[in-house]
A and B are shown apart, each in its own frame.
Chain A
Amino acid sequence: MENYILEATKYSPYIELDSELGILKITGNSYPENALELYQPLFMKIDEFFADEKKKLYIALQIDYLNTSSSKMLIDLFFKLSSYFDQGHEISADWRYPEDDEDYREQCQMFFEDVNFPFKLIGIAY
Protein backbone atom coordinates (compact mmCIF):
# COMPACT_ATOMS: atom_id res chain seq x y z
CA MET A 1 0.00 0.00 0.00
CA GLU A 2 1.02 3.62 -0.48
CA ASN A 3 2.22 5.72 2.43
CA TYR A 4 -0.31 8.12 3.87
CA ILE A 5 0.71 11.69 4.64
CA LEU A 6 -1.41 14.59 5.85
CA GLU A 7 0.37 17.93 6.14
CA ALA A 8 -0.05 19.98 9.30
CA THR A 9 -1.90 23.25 9.72
CA LYS A 10 -1.84 25.51 12.79
CA TYR A 11 -4.70 23.49 14.23
CA SER A 12 -4.25 20.03 12.75
CA PRO A 13 -1.31 17.64 13.13
CA TYR A 14 1.17 16.16 10.69
CA ILE A 15 0.09 12.56 10.18
CA GLU A 16 2.25 9.98 8.46
CA LEU A 17 1.69 6.27 8.09
CA ASP A 18 4.82 4.73 6.57
CA SER A 19 3.69 1.28 5.57
CA GLU A 20 7.16 0.05 4.58
CA LEU A 21 8.86 0.97 7.83
CA GLY A 22 5.75 0.34 9.90
CA ILE A 23 5.71 3.74 11.59
CA LEU A 24 2.77 5.96 12.41
CA LYS A 25 3.67 9.51 13.36
CA ILE A 26 1.27 12.16 14.67
CA THR A 27 2.85 15.48 15.65
CA GLY A 28 1.70 19.06 16.19
CA ASN A 29 -1.60 20.53 17.32
CA SER A 30 -4.95 18.82 17.02
CA TYR A 31 -7.97 21.04 17.47
CA PRO A 32 -9.88 20.98 14.19
CA GLU A 33 -13.54 21.91 13.96
CA ASN A 34 -14.35 18.34 12.93
CA ALA A 35 -11.98 15.69 14.29
CA LEU A 36 -14.01 12.86 12.74
CA GLU A 37 -13.40 14.24 9.27
CA LEU A 38 -9.69 14.71 10.03
CA TYR A 39 -8.94 11.22 11.38
CA GLN A 40 -11.33 9.06 9.36
CA PRO A 41 -8.97 8.66 6.35
CA LEU A 42 -6.21 7.48 8.71
CA PHE A 43 -8.53 4.87 10.24
CA MET A 44 -9.20 3.45 6.76
CA LYS A 45 -5.46 3.37 5.97
CA ILE A 46 -4.79 1.51 9.21
CA ASP A 47 -7.39 -1.13 8.37
CA GLU A 48 -5.74 -1.46 4.96
CA PHE A 49 -2.28 -1.74 6.56
CA PHE A 50 -3.28 -4.66 8.80
CA ALA A 51 -5.46 -6.39 6.22
CA ASP A 52 -3.25 -9.10 4.69
CA GLU A 53 -0.45 -10.33 6.92
CA LYS A 54 0.98 -10.02 10.41
CA LYS A 55 2.51 -6.55 10.69
CA LYS A 56 4.70 -4.49 12.96
CA LEU A 57 3.71 -0.90 13.79
CA TYR A 58 5.48 1.64 15.97
CA ILE A 59 3.47 4.71 16.89
CA ALA A 60 5.22 8.00 17.74
CA LEU A 61 3.01 10.73 19.15
CA GLN A 62 3.87 14.27 20.11
CA ILE A 63 0.78 16.43 20.20
CA ASP A 64 1.06 19.88 21.76
CA TYR A 65 -2.61 20.42 22.36
CA LEU A 66 -5.63 18.31 21.50
CA ASN A 67 -9.24 19.36 21.80
CA THR A 68 -11.86 17.03 23.24
CA SER A 69 -13.12 15.68 19.92
CA SER A 70 -9.52 14.87 18.89
CA SER A 71 -9.14 13.04 22.21
CA LYS A 72 -12.18 11.01 21.32
CA MET A 73 -10.73 10.11 17.91
CA LEU A 74 -7.38 9.13 19.45
CA ILE A 75 -8.95 6.85 22.02
CA ASP A 76 -10.96 5.20 19.25
CA LEU A 77 -7.69 4.83 17.31
CA PHE A 78 -6.03 3.16 20.31
CA PHE A 79 -8.96 0.78 20.78
CA LYS A 80 -8.67 -0.15 17.12
CA LEU A 81 -4.90 -0.71 17.41
CA SER A 82 -5.37 -2.69 20.59
CA SER A 83 -7.69 -5.11 18.82
CA TYR A 84 -5.12 -5.53 16.01
CA PHE A 85 -2.53 -6.24 18.71
CA ASP A 86 -4.87 -8.90 20.17
CA GLN A 87 -5.04 -10.47 16.70
CA GLY A 88 -1.26 -10.97 16.74
CA HIS A 89 0.15 -7.83 15.15
CA GLU A 90 3.20 -6.33 16.85
CA ILE A 91 2.34 -2.82 18.10
CA SER A 92 4.03 -0.36 20.44
CA ALA A 93 3.70 3.36 21.12
CA ASP A 94 5.65 6.29 22.54
CA TRP A 95 3.93 9.50 23.55
CA ARG A 96 6.08 12.57 24.19
CA TYR A 97 4.40 15.19 26.38
CA PRO A 98 5.49 18.37 28.21
CA GLU A 99 7.14 16.99 31.33
CA ASP A 100 5.74 19.52 33.81
CA ASP A 101 2.12 19.17 32.70
CA GLU A 102 0.28 16.88 35.11
CA ASP A 103 -3.08 17.42 33.34
CA TYR A 104 -1.57 16.10 30.14
CA ARG A 105 0.03 13.12 31.81
CA GLU A 106 -3.25 12.18 33.49
CA GLN A 107 -5.00 12.40 30.12
CA CYS A 108 -2.40 10.15 28.45
CA GLN A 109 -2.75 7.56 31.18
CA MET A 110 -6.49 7.57 30.61
CA PHE A 111 -5.85 6.88 26.93
CA PHE A 112 -3.67 3.85 27.56
CA GLU A 113 -5.62 2.34 30.46
CA ASP A 114 -7.55 -0.15 28.37
CA VAL A 115 -5.08 -0.88 25.60
CA ASN A 116 -3.06 -4.08 25.57
CA PHE A 117 -0.04 -3.07 23.47
CA PRO A 118 3.08 -1.71 25.21
CA PHE A 119 3.49 2.07 25.44
CA LYS A 120 5.80 4.63 26.98
CA LEU A 121 5.01 8.15 28.21
CA ILE A 122 8.08 10.31 27.80
CA GLY A 123 8.18 13.72 29.49
CA ILE A 124 10.23 16.23 27.54
CA ALA A 125 11.14 19.86 28.19
CA TYR A 126 9.10 22.24 26.05
Chain B
Amino acid sequence: MNKTFSAHNIFQSMDDNNIQFSYKGPLTQDILTSFGESIKEKLHTDDCDERVIRRIFAILVETAQNILKYSSERTEISSAYRKDAGIGIIGIGNLTDKQFMVFSGNVIHADEMQDIKDRIDFLNSLTPAELTLHYQKQLKEGTITSDGSAGLGWIDIARKANRPLQYKFVELNSGDLFFEITIFISVEE
Protein backbone atom coordinates (compact mmCIF):
# COMPACT_ATOMS: atom_id res chain seq x y z
CA MET B 1 0.00 0.00 0.00
CA ASN B 2 1.05 3.53 -0.72
CA LYS B 3 2.47 5.23 2.40
CA THR B 4 0.42 8.35 1.74
CA PHE B 5 -2.83 6.34 1.83
CA SER B 6 -5.54 7.99 3.84
CA ALA B 7 -9.16 6.91 4.04
CA HIS B 8 -9.87 10.50 4.94
CA ASN B 9 -8.62 11.67 1.52
CA ILE B 10 -11.07 9.33 -0.18
CA PHE B 11 -13.85 10.36 2.19
CA GLN B 12 -13.11 14.04 1.56
CA SER B 13 -12.98 13.66 -2.20
CA MET B 14 -16.30 11.79 -2.27
CA ASP B 15 -17.83 14.27 0.16
CA ASP B 16 -16.69 17.31 -1.88
CA ASN B 17 -18.26 15.84 -5.00
CA ASN B 18 -21.43 14.45 -3.36
CA ILE B 19 -20.57 10.91 -4.41
CA GLN B 20 -22.68 8.26 -2.73
CA PHE B 21 -21.40 5.05 -4.26
CA SER B 22 -18.30 4.21 -6.20
CA TYR B 23 -16.62 0.99 -7.29
CA LYS B 24 -13.18 0.45 -8.81
CA GLY B 25 -12.10 -2.90 -10.16
CA PRO B 26 -13.21 -5.53 -12.70
CA LEU B 27 -16.77 -4.82 -13.88
CA THR B 28 -18.06 -8.36 -14.19
CA GLN B 29 -21.72 -9.02 -14.94
CA ASP B 30 -22.28 -10.15 -11.32
CA ILE B 31 -20.63 -7.07 -9.85
CA LEU B 32 -22.46 -4.63 -12.08
CA THR B 33 -25.74 -6.38 -11.22
CA SER B 34 -25.18 -6.06 -7.45
CA PHE B 35 -23.93 -2.49 -7.80
CA GLY B 36 -26.92 -1.46 -9.94
CA GLU B 37 -29.47 -3.25 -7.75
CA SER B 38 -28.04 -1.71 -4.55
CA ILE B 39 -28.26 1.78 -6.00
CA LYS B 40 -31.80 1.12 -7.21
CA GLU B 41 -32.75 0.04 -3.70
CA LYS B 42 -31.10 3.08 -2.11
CA LEU B 43 -32.92 5.45 -4.49
CA HIS B 44 -36.21 3.72 -3.72
CA THR B 45 -35.56 4.18 0.01
CA ASP B 46 -34.92 7.89 -0.67
CA ASP B 47 -38.31 8.10 -2.43
CA CYS B 48 -36.68 9.16 -5.64
CA ASP B 49 -38.84 9.57 -8.78
CA GLU B 50 -39.43 6.13 -10.36
CA ARG B 51 -38.67 7.31 -13.88
CA VAL B 52 -35.37 8.82 -12.76
CA ILE B 53 -34.42 5.59 -10.95
CA ARG B 54 -35.03 3.66 -14.18
CA ARG B 55 -32.92 6.13 -16.17
CA ILE B 56 -30.06 6.02 -13.66
CA PHE B 57 -30.15 2.22 -13.59
CA ALA B 58 -30.10 2.02 -17.39
CA ILE B 59 -27.17 4.46 -17.61
CA LEU B 60 -25.24 2.54 -14.93
CA VAL B 61 -25.72 -0.77 -16.74
CA GLU B 62 -24.69 0.62 -20.14
CA THR B 63 -21.58 2.39 -18.79
CA ALA B 64 -20.56 -0.62 -16.70
CA GLN B 65 -20.98 -2.97 -19.65
CA ASN B 66 -18.89 -0.61 -21.80
CA ILE B 67 -16.07 -0.97 -19.25
CA LEU B 68 -16.61 -4.74 -19.05
CA LYS B 69 -16.28 -5.05 -22.82
CA TYR B 70 -13.99 -2.24 -23.93
CA SER B 71 -11.59 -1.27 -21.15
CA SER B 72 -8.05 -2.07 -22.31
CA GLU B 73 -7.03 -2.97 -18.75
CA ARG B 74 -8.41 -6.47 -18.28
CA THR B 75 -8.39 -9.37 -15.89
CA GLU B 76 -9.26 -13.02 -16.35
CA ILE B 77 -12.41 -14.06 -14.47
CA SER B 78 -12.83 -17.63 -15.68
CA SER B 79 -10.04 -19.60 -17.26
CA ALA B 80 -12.45 -22.45 -18.07
CA TYR B 81 -14.62 -20.25 -20.30
CA ARG B 82 -11.74 -18.05 -21.41
CA LYS B 83 -13.65 -15.05 -20.09
CA ASP B 84 -12.22 -11.77 -18.95
CA ALA B 85 -13.57 -8.46 -17.69
CA GLY B 86 -12.47 -4.87 -18.10
CA ILE B 87 -11.30 -2.85 -15.12
CA GLY B 88 -12.54 0.65 -14.45
CA ILE B 89 -14.30 2.96 -12.05
CA ILE B 90 -17.98 3.72 -11.84
CA GLY B 91 -20.00 5.81 -9.42
CA ILE B 92 -23.04 7.84 -8.68
CA GLY B 93 -23.49 11.15 -6.98
CA ASN B 94 -26.44 13.18 -5.84
CA LEU B 95 -25.76 16.84 -6.58
CA THR B 96 -29.12 18.13 -5.38
CA ASP B 97 -32.33 16.20 -4.79
CA LYS B 98 -33.22 17.12 -8.38
CA GLN B 99 -29.95 16.25 -10.06
CA PHE B 100 -27.88 13.08 -10.16
CA MET B 101 -24.50 12.31 -11.69
CA VAL B 102 -23.17 9.00 -12.99
CA PHE B 103 -19.48 8.81 -13.83
CA SER B 104 -17.24 6.16 -15.31
CA GLY B 105 -13.63 5.85 -16.31
CA ASN B 106 -11.31 3.26 -17.83
CA VAL B 107 -8.05 2.87 -19.70
CA ILE B 108 -8.15 2.84 -23.51
CA HIS B 109 -5.49 2.62 -26.22
CA ALA B 110 -4.48 6.03 -27.56
CA ASP B 111 -5.62 5.16 -31.08
CA GLU B 112 -9.21 4.68 -29.86
CA MET B 113 -9.55 8.29 -28.75
CA GLN B 114 -10.61 9.88 -32.03
CA ASP B 115 -13.44 7.41 -32.64
CA ILE B 116 -14.83 7.87 -29.11
CA LYS B 117 -14.55 11.64 -29.40
CA ASP B 118 -16.31 11.71 -32.77
CA ARG B 119 -19.14 9.51 -31.55
CA ILE B 120 -19.86 11.52 -28.39
CA ASP B 121 -19.48 14.90 -30.14
CA PHE B 122 -21.96 13.70 -32.75
CA LEU B 123 -24.49 12.68 -30.09
CA ASN B 124 -24.00 16.02 -28.32
CA SER B 125 -24.75 17.87 -31.56
CA LEU B 126 -28.17 16.29 -32.15
CA THR B 127 -31.54 17.69 -31.13
CA PRO B 128 -33.70 15.36 -28.98
CA ALA B 129 -35.83 14.49 -32.04
CA GLU B 130 -32.73 13.71 -34.13
CA LEU B 131 -31.36 11.61 -31.31
CA THR B 132 -34.53 9.50 -31.16
CA LEU B 133 -34.40 9.00 -34.94
CA HIS B 134 -30.74 8.04 -34.74
CA TYR B 135 -31.52 5.49 -32.00
CA GLN B 136 -34.43 4.09 -34.02
CA LYS B 137 -32.31 3.73 -37.17
CA GLN B 138 -29.50 1.98 -35.31
CA LEU B 139 -32.00 -0.28 -33.51
CA LYS B 140 -33.73 -1.36 -36.72
CA GLU B 141 -30.92 -1.31 -39.26
CA GLY B 142 -27.85 -1.98 -37.14
CA THR B 143 -26.42 -5.41 -36.50
CA ILE B 144 -25.30 -7.06 -33.29
CA THR B 145 -21.72 -8.38 -33.11
CA SER B 146 -20.73 -11.78 -31.73
CA ASP B 147 -19.72 -10.17 -28.40
CA GLY B 148 -23.22 -8.71 -28.13
CA SER B 149 -22.56 -5.08 -29.09
CA ALA B 150 -25.42 -3.35 -30.86
CA GLY B 151 -23.85 0.14 -31.03
CA LEU B 152 -26.76 1.57 -29.03
CA GLY B 153 -25.30 2.12 -25.55
CA TRP B 154 -24.16 5.73 -25.79
CA ILE B 155 -27.13 6.73 -27.92
CA ASP B 156 -29.44 5.47 -25.19
CA ILE B 157 -27.38 7.19 -22.48
CA ALA B 158 -27.57 10.46 -24.43
CA ARG B 159 -31.35 10.08 -24.74
CA LYS B 160 -31.78 9.58 -20.99
CA ALA B 161 -29.31 12.21 -19.78
CA ASN B 162 -28.84 15.95 -19.94
CA ARG B 163 -26.50 16.88 -22.74
CA PRO B 164 -23.75 17.64 -23.50
CA LEU B 165 -22.24 14.41 -22.19
CA GLN B 166 -18.98 15.55 -20.59
CA TYR B 167 -15.85 13.55 -21.25
CA LYS B 168 -12.10 13.84 -21.14
CA PHE B 169 -8.96 11.88 -21.80
CA VAL B 170 -6.09 11.84 -19.31
CA GLU B 171 -2.64 10.89 -20.60
CA LEU B 172 -1.01 8.05 -18.69
CA ASN B 173 2.72 7.33 -18.35
CA SER B 174 2.24 4.08 -20.24
CA GLY B 175 1.16 6.01 -23.37
CA ASP B 176 -2.43 4.82 -22.94
CA LEU B 177 -5.28 7.16 -22.07
CA PHE B 178 -7.77 7.25 -19.22
CA PHE B 179 -11.19 7.93 -20.72
CA GLU B 180 -13.76 9.42 -18.38
CA ILE B 181 -17.35 10.43 -18.91
CA THR B 182 -19.72 12.28 -16.58
CA ILE B 183 -23.46 12.03 -17.12
CA PHE B 184 -26.06 14.27 -15.48
CA ILE B 185 -29.65 13.20 -15.00
CA SER B 186 -32.37 15.60 -13.81
CA VAL B 187 -35.73 15.03 -12.23
CA GLU B 188 -38.32 16.62 -14.49
CA GLU B 189 -40.97 18.74 -12.82
Contact = CB atoms under 8 A, between A and B. Distances in A.
- Looking at A31, A65, A73, A101, the one whose CB has the most chain B CB atoms below 10 A away is A31
A98 B33 CA distance: 21
Contacts, number: 73
Given A10-B37, A72-B142, A103-B160, A32 B54 contact: no
A67 B144 contact: no
B136 A110 contact: yes
B140 A32 contact: no
Interface stretch (B12-20, B92-100, B149-157): B149-157
Interface string B122-141: 00000000000000100110
B65 A75 contact: no
Contacts of B150: 35, 68-69, 71-72
B57 A65 contact: yes
A65 B148 contact: no
Interface residues of B, number: 30
Nearest to A100: B50
B61 A101 contact: no
A37 interface: yes
A2 to B, nearest CB: 26
Contact of A36 (B51, B58, B148, B153): B148
Contacts of B148: 32-37, 69
Contacts of A65: 54, 57-58, 61
B139 A110 contact: yes
B147 interface: yes
A75 B58 CA distance: 18
Interface of A: 10-11, 31-37, 65, 67-69, 71-73, 75-76, 98, 100-104, 110, 114, 126
Interface of B: 29, 33, 37, 50-51, 54-55, 57-58, 61-62, 65, 68-69, 136, 139-140, 142, 144-150, 152-153, 155-156, 160
Q: Which 3 A-B pairs have the closest CB atoms?
A: A34-B148, A68-B152, A72-B150
Given A35-B144, A35-B150, 18 more contacts: A10-B33, A31-B33, A31-B61, A31-B65, A32-B29, A36-B145, A37-B148, A65-B54, A67-B58, A68-B62, A68-B150, A71-B139, A71-B150, A72-B144, A72-B152, A75-B140, A100-B50, A126-B50
